[in-house]
Chains A and B, each alone.
Chain A
């Protein structure tokens, strides 16, 4: 895949990455670039990004959104996964990344979402918000409620660190299942509000399914797998497409048109703003075994033959 090689070379060309090419480096795109490069068999190219992440780590183990903005700390989960991926895929700096990952784990296991802003009774909370507001996951911002995507990001990291029996991990799995929409799919994290069912979104669904890869939940998430499969087409943009393919792969599904969609999205990105964030996700979604983000880090038997 020519686009993949071109994208890998672009990511390998510098240590830190922004959401757009040339923008100031941020933790999330840099971590995703490191994960993509490690899984693509380029540990040498991943090392500068991993180093950049280590330099952005605070004394308490967390990382903010960039090297200067120490809060909110939701990208810590991505950096953690980047170091874990390097350790599992092979790296020359194992001791250093192991220490960084260990400090990040401590922070992640202590971070937690809060009850909703205006809690009522459990029944009333369920009526208004549609979910069990007491289940603990992870928030975007410290001191706020648990939401689907930050919870999924941290589950991916914890699974890679073989922490899937930890109480926080188990409760977060419950949270994701509780936030699954009645007809399948996830959105940012509300199922119903005042009794009305909200709409699912492709990216949130893909990430949630990726996080649940390796869990014995196939029957419970089948409606989400079906919904996501039905939503994919050439119209789906790079980031949503990548997360969708990663999520489906974590449950053994690979749409036959996946390569064609990825190529089109990559060519559009490379011809456009060259977003390293887009490219990293596209590389991950295109790297065999499919769904490496979700499954290569801990064998699950879900890999699909390409």
Chain B
């Protein structure tokens, strides 16, 4: 389901070559460097992403999600009896600002779909800016929603954890500490709110997975990742986690000063993808960004998935029909991402 995941060095990272490798490789690397990506793209079938328009929080979201998952080739028989962890974004909930977080109804709809397919579903999150997770669940309405459907919640900030190697190695971090609930899941479903982000341009399926790292280890905010590089760690976390797919809440998005203080942007969008890089690249275009200028997508390109439009096949609605540029802060580093 994630065939693009490899252990090749990150874009921008120093190559790890020994002397023999350097001597042998010098003559062929140039040609291979030019030819391999081209050949790879020609031989690799395009990666599907699914976009649905005119969605509402009180609409038949489960039907849309099931349709989207089938459209992108999700093998629904595979999930029977398996552990599925839904990971919404509850970074800093405030009842008066629902554009900050994933809407509970989208989470309930996804849970409904996976339960109908026989999966053991739970929900987990490690809110990044607030230590009182119980308060985050109350303020967001997520706690009440989950109780109503008897969906178990894992507080990823405080639960049991284990160390695993950093497979991506874009940043200097050698290991990640992930909650056991994350590492033991057969499938992680990233369920972000589609938002602008005042540091890295946008936050969607890939960046949302920052929120699986426990605060007790990484802090509130997860400042360790800031020092080691936000884009680098977006790629590294995604490269190091078990199997991942994404269902994106783009029904009421956030533009402007995201990811916390931005304003609502109603879009009516629900997006589904098995490859988070391809999905985020498509959403970036829809938001008015150039995916190649979003640093984490540029690093992930052709490594965790494709960002080139010709390497992505659209199911459902074409992104151009939904395109609606998102306002951002007038900061140079953000404006560059539009070019």
A contacts, CB < 8 Å to B = 19-20, 23-24, 26, 28, 65, 69, 72, 74, 114, 117, 139-141, 143-145, 147, 149, 187-188, 193-194, 196, 198-199, 201-204, 235-240
Contacts and interface: CB of A to CB of B under 8 A. Distances in A.
Contact of B198 (A24, A114, A193, A235): A193
A65 B177 CA distance: 13
Q: Which 6 pairs of residues, A with B, have the shortest CB-CB distance?
A: A140-B219, A144-B223, A19-B158, A237-B134, A237-B135, A239-B132
Given A199-B92, A199-B260, A202-B135, A147 B198 contact: no
6 contacts: A72-B219, A117-B227, A188-B220, A188-B221, A199-B260, A203-B130
A117 B226 contact: yes
Contacts of A236: 135
Nearest to B158: A19
A139 B227 contact: no
Interface of B: 92, 94, 129-132, 134-135, 138, 155, 158-160, 198, 215-221, 223-224, 226-227, 257, 260-261, 329, 331
Given A117-B227, A237-B138, A201 B219 contact: no
B223 A196 contact: no
Contacts of B261: 193, 196, 198-199
B219 A203 contact: no
Contacts of A203: 130-132, 135
Contacts of A141: 217-219, 223-224
A144 B132 contact: no
A237 B132 contact: yes
Contacts of B135: 202-203, 236-237, 239-240
B160 A24 contact: yes
Contacts of B226: 117, 144
Contact of A196 (B129, B158, B219, B257): B257
A28 B214 CA distance: 15
Contacts of A139: 219, 223
A239 B131 contact: yes
Nearest to A269: B134
B137 to A, nearest CB: 8
A26 B218 CA distance: 15
A204 B160 CA distance: 24
B223 A145 contact: yes
A65 B217 contact: yes
A204 B257 CA distance: 22
Given A194-B257, A194-B329, A201 B160 contact: no
A149 B131 contact: yes
Nearest to B262: A196
A217 to B, nearest CB: 23
Nearest to A148: B220
Nearest to A193: B198
Nearest to A199: B94
Contacts of A72: 217, 219
Given A149-B220, A194-B198, 19 more contacts: A19-B155, A26-B216, A117-B223, A117-B226, A139-B223, A140-B215, A143-B224, A144-B223, A144-B227, A145-B223, A147-B221, A188-B220, A196-B261, A198-B260, A202-B132, A202-B135, A204-B131, A237-B138, A239-B134
